[in-house]
Amino acid sequence: MASPRISIVAPVFNEEETLPEFYRRVQAVMEGLGESWELVLVDDGSADGSFAICRDLHQQDSRVRVVRLARNFGHQIAITAGMDHARGDAVVTIDSDLQDPPEVIPELVARWREGYHIVYGVRSEREGETWFKLFTARLFYRLIAALTDIRIPMEAGDFRLLDRRVVEEMRRMREHRRFIRGMTCWVGYRQIGVPYHRHARFAGQTKYPFRKMLRLALDAITGFSDLPLRLAWTFGAILLVLGVLLGLILLILRLTGQAPLAGQGVVLTVALILSGTQLLFLGVMGEYLARIYDEVRNRPLYVVWEILE
C-alpha cells in the first residue's frame, strides 16, 4: 500500500463522546484537501468505550489506523507513539477533544507546501477556560522562556504539522519525560505559526488538570535547562555570605557590649530559612536525578497492546 501524503495523529483517552464527531470533521476536511491521508488514533489506556469506537471507525474506513497502548502512558507519550506509526510525508498532531478544530489543518498544510518544516497553531482565543487556567498557562510559557534556552511561541500547543524529516529527528529523541513542543522547537528547521480560535471541549472533562500542567512544566524545565541547578549554587553562596556577615555583626555587638540579636525566635527563623532552602534545592536535584534514573533503566517509552491497520 502506498504511503499517505498526510498523517493525522490523535491521542485518545476516554473520549467516547467526541470520537464520532472528531472523525466526521477530520474526514470532511481531508476529503476537501484532495491529498491522500490517514488518521492514526492512539488509545492511551482508555477506561470507557473509546477503543470500541476506534475499532468501529477502523472497520468503516481503512484509512483509520488504531494503536492501542497497554495502559495510560500519558499525553506526550501517546503523541510519540502516533508519530512512530505515522507514514505520511507530513504529520499533524491534534487532540481528539475538538478544542483544536480540524478545519485549521488545510492552513497548516498550505504553509508546509510553502516550504516550512514545522507549522504550529497559535491560540488567538481560548473558549471555555477559567481565569485560573488562562493565568497558569501564561505563567507556564513565561517560566519556560525565562528558565530554558528554547523559545516556544506564546499560546502554541501541541497542535502542529511536522515535516517527515522533523518526525525522523523526533524519533531519534527517546527521552522518557517528554515535552513535545519544546523538542520540536529544539530541532530547528523553518517554523511558522498559524493563529486559530480554540474552542471549548465538545464533551467530557479536561485531561490536563493543574497537577498535570505542573508536571509538564517540571519536565520542560528539567529537560531543557540546568539553570535551577546553577540557582542552587548561587543561593547557597548568598546564604553563606549572609551567614558570615550575621556572625560578624553578632561578634561586634558582643565585643562592644551592646545587646546582640539573640533569642529562640531569631534562631528558629534562621534555621527554617536555611533548612527550607536546602530542602527546596535538594528537590530540584532530585528531579534531575529522577530523569537520569529513567534514562539509565532504558525501558521502552510505551507498550503496544495491539495495532489495527
Question: Residue 161: its pLDDT value, please?
Answer: 93
Among residues 198, 122, 197, the alpha carbon closest in space to that of 161 is found at 122
The whole domain housing 19 covers: 6-225+300-308
Please state the domain count of the chain.
Answer: 2
Is 214 in the same domain as 272?
A: no
Is 209 in the same domain as 235?
A: no
Is 218 in the same domain as 262?
A: no
| Chain segment 55-82, per-residue pLDDT in tens | 999 999 889 999 999 988 888 889 999 9
Is 18 in the same domain as 122?
A: yes
Confidence of residue 92 (pLDDT cuts 50, 70, 90): very high
Question: Residue 39: its pLDDT value, please?
Answer: 92
Is 39 in the same domain as 85?
A: yes
pTM of the predicted model as reported, rounded to 2 decimal places: 0.69
| Chain segment 244-271, per-residue pLDDT in tens | 676 677 667 667 766 555 555 566 566 6
Dist CA 142 CA 127 (whole Å): 21
| Chain segment 196-213, per-residue pLDDT in tens | 877 665 555 665 555 666
Q: Report the share of the chain in percent with pLDDT over 70.
A: 64
What is the DSSP secondary-structure string of 66-111? EEEESS---HHHHHHHHHHH--SSEEEE--TTSSS-GGGHHHHHHH
Question: Residue 224: its pLDDT value, please?
Answer: 61
Q: Are strands 156-163 and 90-93 parallel, antiparallel or unpaired?
A: antiparallel
Find residue 122's DSSP bridge partners: 156, 195
Is 191 in the same domain as 68?
A: yes
Q: How many CA atoms lie within 13 A of 82 on its CB side?
A: 33
Residue 255 lies in a domain: yes
Which residues, including other chains, have CB under 8 Å from residue 123's CB and lie 6 or more apart? Answer: 155, 156, 157, 195, 196, 197, 198
Question: Residue 264: its pLDDT value, please?
Answer: 54
Is 12 in contact with 90 (CB distance < 8 Å)?
no
Task: Considering only CA atoms, give the Rg of the chain.
Answer: 25
Confidence of residue 11 (pLDDT cuts 50, 70, 90): very high
| Chain segment 136-152, per-residue pLDDT in tens | 667 766 766 666 666 77
Is 183 in the same domain as 291?
A: no
| Chain segment 152-177, per-residue pLDDT in tens | 766 677 888 999 999 998 888 888 87
Is 192 in the same domain as 111?
A: yes
Dist CA 184 CA 204 (whole Å): 29
Highest mean pLDDT range out of 70-79, 124-133, 219-228?
70-79
Dist CA 132 CA 140 (whole Å): 12
Dist CA 15 CA 207 (whole Å): 10
